[in-house]
A and B are shown apart, each in its own frame.
Chain A
Amino acid sequence: MSLLELRGVHTHIGAYHILHGVDLSVREGEVTMLLGRNGAGKTTTLRTIMGLWPASAGSVTFQGRTIQGLPTPDIAQAGIGYVPESMGIFGDLTVQENMLLAARSARRADEFDAKRLQWIFGLFPALQKFWLFPAGKLSGGQKQMLAVARAIVEPRALLLIDEPSKGLAPSIIQNLVRALRELKAQRCTVLLVEQNFSVARALGDRVAVMDNGRVVHAGEMAQLAEDEALQQRLLGLSLGAHQ
């Protein structure tokens, strides 16, 4: 069953026409990978879903309800967590304060859901270590962990995560993939933009490939992972080159 549906979505940023009729489905309880070359429109798709760059045409429905045209805070409150490519960490605030902002039901640090926080500390132990440390002083990998942790500090129906492995060392990426696999095991629904095909193959149930502002392929991740000719045609790569 589709949790999120985009039908014929067009997005303009100023004079530029970026998305040219995107059709995309995200099924509940699955990790859907959004792949494509630089400039294909992946980040714009996520920002359009969040209402940060509103769709100029088409429809975006979430849990059967139309959300395009809603203000971003309403879309977030509907149950969508967003991890932007820039991570969106508040550098002057501590790790604890960053998490407290994301936990909308908690007014103070002692009102966190302790069980969920322990689960998050299990996924990202560095966050417990640096709990009272300014987030701006964390390493790139730790910031990415904080960005993901912030999105899951309260249950969300859908997570939008934009290139979490970008710029990270391979060992950090492994930790991140382990944590995202744990989320997948918990049946979290995720729409994940990724350039790293190995990461995509490790996490994805389904895949959508974008090019020039359109989805040009949608299907099972396993099918794309096995079909090198398809990879070559869609992404200009073969999985073998990335192993």
Chain B
Amino acid sequence: MNAPARIPKAQFDFKPLALLAGVAALGLPLIGSPSTWVTLTVAGLAMGLIIFIIASGLTLVFGLMDVLNFGHGVFIAAGAFVATSVIAGMGGWAEAPGLWPNLGALFVAMLAAMAVAGALGFAFERLIVRPVYGQHLKQILITMGGMIVGEEIIKMIWGPQQQPLPLPTSLRGSFVFGDVAIEKYRVLAVAIGLLVFAVLLWVLGRTKIGLLIRAGVQDREMVESLGYRIRRLFVGVFVAGSALAGLGGVMWGLNQQIVSPQIGAQVNVLIFIVIIIGGLGSTLGCFVGALLMGLLANYIGFLAPKLALFTNIALMVAILLWRPQGLYPVKTV
């Protein structure tokens, strides 16, 4: 059906994107050196996009079913630890001199991490989340408990020690352009992050499943009244979100090159800040919020390392003072 000629234009809210660009632009004079600024900006974007991958599923889970899943970190940890085993098992490919075997090992590790985290998410939803729908306090307690149990299971399988997660040979080192050094892995992380964002936008914006998810985030009762089973949709989103968290866990672990059983709990705090400042249930808000966090963490870490610990909380306070419902609040009528 073609749109008639006199349709009023809907206005997109560019202010959060302008804020993101403004933060990046402000970083340049404060940092002083353009080459350092480029390095920090790419590092910030990579960090932000990894956080986005992890948080995107969680924000949809909250938006769809009002579920506060504090156990999301267990999928991150599971993904990262599965990757340590896969990459260790494919040592020949990971340590080979060519790019393609290296990428092959990495993508097998990512797929395995997503499969395990997705399966874990399916079990987690059935056993832990489903009995406490609509009960926020119980959700917080039981999902945190689930994460503790998950951490202990990881310790049983892989041991309590930190595990190395080395980058494949071709992804070590940096691309150097004049004075600018950009780590190769961060370029890959940015590419994967943007790909995930593009796929999510396509699914949410161009498919009927995506339409149902966006509608369910706004009014799940009405979606059911139109004849759709929102719980099945929720399980699908929960599993997909868990798989994305597993992928994010691999990428976070590769960024650190080491993983510990507490990795999930460490990242959990960051992703909750991101989904709150983005607007609960908003994918675009989650994306912009994650990038803001990544950029600020890198800029402040360079300019005033002692302040770095407070950056995330300060960002959340500032955003919520500006927009109490987050950067892109989900509209309900």
Contact = CB atoms under 8 A, between A and B. Distances in A.
Interface in A90-147: 90-94, 96-97, 100-102, 104, 107-110, 112, 114, 117, 128-137, 143
A54 to B, nearest CB: 13
A129 B6 CA distance: 7
Contacts of A112: 1
Nearest to B206: A108
Contact of A91 (B6, B211, B218): B218
Given A101-B212, A129-B4, A136 B227 contact: no
A190 B224 CA distance: 20
B10 A84 contact: no
Nearest to A94: B10
B62 to A, nearest CB: 16
Contact of A73 (B7, B218, B224, B330): B224
Given A73-B227, A135-B333, A90 B7 contact: no
Contacts of A101: 208, 211-212, 215, 223, 226, 228
B224 A76 contact: yes
Contacts of A71: 224, 229
A72 interface: yes
B215 A90 contact: yes
Interface string B48-64: 00000000000000000
Contact of A84 (B1, B225, B331): B225
B220 to A, nearest CB: 10
Contacts of B226: 76, 101-102, 104, 150
Contacts, number: 96
A143 B219 CA distance: 15
Nearest to A74: B227
Contacts of B208: 100-101, 107-108
Contacts of B218: 90-93
Interface string A69-87: 0011100110000101011
A237 B221 CA distance: 35
B222 interface: yes
Nearest to B217: A92
Contact of B7 (A89, A102, A114, A132): A132
A57 to B, nearest CB: 23
A155 interface: no
Contact of B10 (A50, A109, A129, A134): A134
Q: Chain B: interface residue count, which band?
A: 20 to 34
B43 to A, nearest CB: 33
B1 A72 contact: no
B332 interface: yes
Interface string A197-236: 0000000000000000000000000000000000000000
A42 B224 CA distance: 20
B333 A73 contact: no
A101 B1 CA distance: 15
B178 interface: no
B332 A72 contact: no
A96 B1 contact: yes
B22 interface: no
Contacts of B10: 94, 132-134, 137
A90 B1 contact: no
Given A87-B333, A92-B330, A93-B214, A77 B7 contact: no
B32 interface: no
B225 A88 contact: yes
B332 A91 contact: yes
B1 A92 contact: no
A134 B4 CA distance: 15
Interface string B267-281: 000000000000000
User: Ordered nearest first, which 7 A-B pairs have the shortest CB separation?
Assistant: A88-B222, A76-B227, A91-B331, A91-B333, A72-B224, A89-B333, A77-B227
6 contacts: A76-B227, A88-B222, A88-B333, A90-B215, A93-B218, A94-B10
Given A91-B331, A132-B3, A136-B331, 17 more contacts: A73-B227, A76-B226, A84-B222, A86-B333, A89-B333, A90-B215, A93-B211, A93-B214, A100-B211, A101-B208, A101-B226, A107-B208, A117-B1, A129-B4, A131-B3, A133-B10, A134-B331
